[in-house]
Structure 1
Amino acid sequence: MGRIIWFIISVLFVFWLLGLVFKIGGGLIHILLVIAGIIFIIQLITGKRSL
């Protein structure tokens, strides 16, 4: 499960960078990135992150 979430976070980060560079996607990419960040923080707090 942890690998899937890290993959999703990585993909969303790449899409966010593409959105910044090419000005596409607008707010949707930023909302998805915020959701990925919240999931990341929750995993850090609960200690369920595997390396």
Structure 2
Amino acid sequence: MKKLQLLEQIDKLSSLLHSDDLQEFNFTAGTISEMRMKLDMLSEEYIECYC
């Protein structure tokens, strides 16, 4: 179950960060940076646990 939840989080965050609509949300550069760091952390966790 954790694997599916982790994949869902990665997918949602990745979709948002790579969306053409990202600018419409008016996120600050710091917020976008934090989101990218979180995506990296989730991806690393997935790789460590399931690859």
With the shorter chain as reference, the TM-score category is 0.5 to 0.7
Partner in structure 2 of residue 5 of structure 1: 6
Greater RCO (Cα-Cα under 8 Å, separation 6 or more): 2
RMSD: 2.1
Cα pair 1:9 1:33 within 8 Å, conserved: no
Please list every run of at least 4 consecutive aligned residues from structure 1 whose deviation after the TM superposition is greater than 6 angstroms: none
Q: How high is the sequence identity, in percent, across the aligned residues?
A: 7
Task: Name 1:15's counterpart in structure 2.
Answer: 16
Q: What code does the residue aligned with 1:32 have?
A: M
Structure 1 gaps of 5+ residues are none
| Unmatched runs of 5 consecutive residues or more in structure 2 | none
When normalised by structure 1's length, the TM-score is: 0.60
Q: How many residues are matched?
A: 46
1:49 aligned partner: 50
